[in-house]
Amino acid sequence: MTGPDPLFDIAGRSIVVTGASGAFGRAAAQTLAARGARLTLVSGDAGGLQRLAEDLPGHGHATLQRRPDTLDDAQAIADAAIAAHGRIDGLVVASGTNHPAAIGEMTPAAWQTVMDANVRAPWLLCKAIGPHFAAQGHGKVVFVSSVRGRHGTPRGYTAYCTSKAALDGLTRTLATEWGPQHVNVNAIGPTVFRSNLTAWMFGDDDRSSASRVQSLPRIPLGRLGEPGDLMGILVYLLAPASDFCTGQVIYVDGGYTAG
Ligand SMILES: NC(=O)c1ccc[n+]([C@@H]2O[C@H](COP(=O)([O-])OP(=O)(O)OC[C@H]3O[C@@H](n4cnc5c(N)ncnc54)[C@H](OP(=O)(O)O)[C@@H]3O)[C@@H](O)[C@H]2O)c1
């Protein structure tokens, strides 16, 4: 075979990536740009966005300094992608957050911040971009969920685990609603991978080591993740290879959920 494998060919596809200056978002932007996708990169971090766009292969990628906090924001993100590329073929929601705290110490405002970033924002983005997918008769949505949507943990994750479980519900429900329009909705379920949220777990100090001693026996492949570990499944979920896959949370977790 010469040229890209048609099963995994995403060249020319217009793909929106939110949280683009975060660890998953940056890796996604680099992976998709290297495969010829035309990107709309969305981030609240203007400096990070500019550095990312300058480093990317390909050109013509659009950038927008914004977070998907409101329906207006989500609409502006959809408008920017249409203005830059004329269509939207894929949405990757790589924005999200966590505020670990035991329930007794967690404020309702902190709870709401996590739910807004991890559930409301993906819903708003789908609401704004959905009409474009429906008009085209195709589209691919990829959320970033977590093993924490399926497994509880005593680390002060009442908001985070609940938000990811809700995101899994959104994945399945929207997949059923949008299936007739040939729009695929799936989520990636990682365990811990290296990012701003988890950098402390990769250190050499006692707290990091203790955390790894606790986590690694649960991971059959014996290590924590890197953003690059998640890029194969991302390309699959945006490419023709996944045309008959929808409503799934696909765990890429070193086997964590197998045990
Ligand atoms: N790292 C892990 O171990 C792990 C494991 C499982 C799942 N995940 C999920 O993976 C996704 C990406 O996270 P990451 O690990 O790449 O972390 P990250 O490097 O911190 O990136 C997350 C990005 O989300 C955006 N963000 C932060 N707070 C936000 C808020 N309140 N509202 C909206 N957007 C906000 C920021 O993007 P901008 O500054 O660009 O706007 C930030 O860079 C998240 O949904 C996370 O829950 C992570």
In a domain, 258, yes or no: no
Mean pLDDT, the chain, integer: 96
In a domain, 92, yes or no: yes
In a domain, 100, yes or no: yes
Strand partners, 42: 18, 64
- Side chain identity, residue 190: P
Summarised one tens digit per residue, pLDDT across range 224-233 is 999 999 999 9
How many separate domains does the chain show?
Answer: 1
Summarised one tens digit per residue, pLDDT across range 186-199 is 999 999 999 988 99
Cβ(19) – ligand 1 distance below 6 Å: yes
Range of the domain at 78: 6-253
Check residue 67 and give its pLDDT.
96
Average pLDDT of the segment spanning 135-153: 97
Distance 98 CA to ligand 1 centre (A): 8
Nearest to 40 by CA among 72, 95, 88, 74: 88
In a domain, 1, yes or no: no
256 has catalytic annotation: no
The percent of residues above 90 in pLDDT, for the chain, comes to: 89
Check residue 2 and give its pLDDT.
74
In a domain, 22, yes or no: yes
CATH of the domain at 171: 3.40.50.720
Maximum C-alpha span of the chain: 59
**3-state SS, residue 249:** strand
**Which atom of ligand 1 has the smallest separation from the CA of 68?**
33
**Which atom of ligand 1 has the smallest separation from the CA of 45?**
39
**Which one of the listed residues 157, 160, 251, 256 is annotated catalytic?**
160
Cβ(158) – ligand 1 distance below 6 Å: no
**3-state SS, residue 243:** coil
Cβ(121) – ligand 1 distance below 6 Å: yes
Cβ(178) – ligand 1 distance below 6 Å: no
Check residue 6 and give its pLDDT.
96
Check residue 3 and give its pLDDT.
78
- Side chain identity, residue 1: M
The percent of residues above 70 in pLDDT, for the chain, comes to: 100
Average pLDDT of the segment spanning 27-45: 97
For residue 55, the surrounding DSSP H or E stretch is: helix 46-55
Distance 175 CA to ligand 1 centre (A): 23
Above 90 in pLDDT, residue 155? no
Grade residue 1 by pLDDT with cuts at 50, 70 and 90: confident
